[in-house]
Every structure is written in C-alpha cells, then in structure tokens.
Amino acid sequence: MSECYIKTVLPTKFILSLGLLGSVALCSGQTYTPITNSERFSLFVKRSFGPAALGKNAANSALKTRLHMPKEWDRGWNGFSHRFGTHLVRSTSGNAVEMAISYALRDDTRYFRSDSAGVGKRIGHAVASTFVTRTRSGGRMPAVSRFAGIVAGSFIVNPMMPPGRDKWDNALKRSAVSVGTRSFWNIFNEFWPDIRKKLRR
C-alpha cells in the first residue's frame, strides 16, 4: 500500500525545524487498513531476524571491524562476533520494546511509500516518516514507540560495551545515530522498488 505525504499532529514549527514542511499534506483517495497483532509480531521477527536484517547487521559489523570501531575490540573474528552480537541484541531488544509499546498505543510503525513523483518531496516524506506513525484511524502521531525502542536498545547493550563506552551519554549517541540510520533506510525503501523495476527491464 502506498501513501501520500504525511499529515502529522506534530506542531508545524517542529516540522519546520526539521526542514520537512514539504512533506506535510493531506492524503486523498487513500484507504488504510490498521495493522493486526499478528502482523505486528511478524514485523518484529522480520526486523530482528529476517535475511535483510541479519545481512545489514553482518555488513555493519564487518565495516566496523575493518575500521576498528570500537578500538577495544580486535579486527579479527573475535571482534566481529562481539560487534555482531551486540548489534543483534540491540536491534532485537529495541524492536521488542517498539512492538510492545506499539501494541499499547495501537499505532503502526510500518513504512508507507509516498504517492509523489518528485524526488525531493519523496525524500522529505521518507525522512519525516521517521518521526511519526499511523494511528488505527489512519491519522498521525509522534513515533513514541519507535523512539522508545531505539533508546531502550541503545541502553540495554551498555553492559556489553567496552569500558568507557558504556555510559548513558554513549547510549544517547547511539540512539541519535540510529535515528539517522532509520531515515536512510526509509529513503532506501522509498526508491528501491523503482530502481529494482528498472534493473529488471
């Protein structure tokens, strides 16, 4: 199901501060079917243990191993396993918290593509979608469940991090990076179906 630009309950000034006003508009002629509990659980499994999720985890861990980040973990298989395991715990626990709060708030954290043909507006839509979720009536609300999951996952892995990287400020930095990463993957999910269609021609 596609989606036109976001009409959000967030204040306009907040949207302006994010540079996302171009992605705020009414949807017309669109219908929305609320997410079910089984679909919510399936989303959790897919985002935590699906091939794409594990592949991204492996690629991210390999890159950080190559760049020696963090330096306290070596650049061999032992260091890679530390990075992979930590990321897996972080993503799985964060997704679990997101699912639980999403169930309580009855919101929908899935990504819906834009109906716009403009690249800039579609990018704006993808980035703005990081900060809002759908309500059961099809409206918009701040992405409380998503951000709770991001922050929870970042704090849960603190005991697994090397000394000096296990403080609350380190967890907040990881959370900020995760928000940026989520926006990036929203943009990817927005354009990838079009790119894949062209590649198959």
Confirm whether 163 is domain-assigned. Answer: yes
Domains contained in the chain, number: 1
Confirm whether 130 is domain-assigned. Answer: no
At 117 the pLDDT is 84
User: What DSSP string describes 119-130?
Assistant: HHHHHHHHHHTT
For the chain, the average pLDDT equals 87
Would you call 134 helix, strand, or coil by DSSP? strand
Please give the share of the chain, as a percent, with pLDDT higher than 90: 80
List pLDDT tens digits, range 17-49.
343 333 333 343 458 899 999 999 999 999 999
Residue 4 pLDDT > 80, yes or no? no
Assign 3-class secondary structure to 18-34: CCCHHHECCCCCCCCCC
Residue 51 pLDDT > 70, yes or no? yes
Confirm whether 78 is domain-assigned. Answer: yes
| C-alpha 3, offset from chain centre | 17
Mean pLDDT lowest among 5-14, 142-151, 183-192: 5-14
Confirm whether 123 is domain-assigned. Answer: no
Q: Are strands 132-134 and 140-142 parallel, antiparallel or unpaired?
A: antiparallel
List pLDDT tens digits, range 68-78.
999 999 999 99
Structural domain for 80, as ranges: 32-118+145-199
Confirm whether 162 is domain-assigned. Answer: yes
Global pTM value: 0.81
Confirm whether 3 is domain-assigned. Answer: no
Q: Which two tokens stand for residue 38?
A: 């089984």
List pLDDT tens digits, range 90-141.
999 999 999 999 999 999 999 999 988 899 999 999 999 999 999 999 899 9
